[in-house]
Amino acid sequence: MAFTFELLGVSPVIEFFNYQQKVSHHPSGTGVEYLASHKCTLDAFIESVETVSPKRGWELDQAVDTVVNFWLNNVEAVQHWKQRLNDAGKENLLIARLADFRDLQMEFERLMD
């Protein structure tokens, strides 16, 4: 299983909470998970992955490696989102997406149809 990870943006806590509530009532069955953190740190997102992995049946080591590789190879993007999160204030979260690559590709193809 190949994973992809990307930092997507900053969102108010309540908006992300509402989105997660909506998704939990209508599960799509896709291998895409949206993660959030009050801090823009590698440790914070690894903790998020650790909570998602068991319920998805994902290989934890592979998922964590994907996040670590993103962090190491995208320093400028990480710094950008860290600054945006700081600018937004404490009532906001940094949102990221972790997905099984094939499932994300299928989701994008469905959107294009």
pLDDT at 72 > cutoff 60: yes
pLDDT at residue 51 above 70? yes
Q: How many other CB atoms are found less than 10 A from the CB of residue 35?
A: 22
The total of structural domains in the chain comes to 1
Q: CA angle, corner 86, sides to 39 and 73, nearest 5?
A: 60
Which structural domain, as residue segments, surrounds residue 49?
Answer: 3-21+30-112
Single pTM value for the model: 0.86
Compute the mean pLDDT over every residue in the chain, rounded to the nearest whole number: 89
Closest CA to 67 of 51, 91, 90, 83: 51
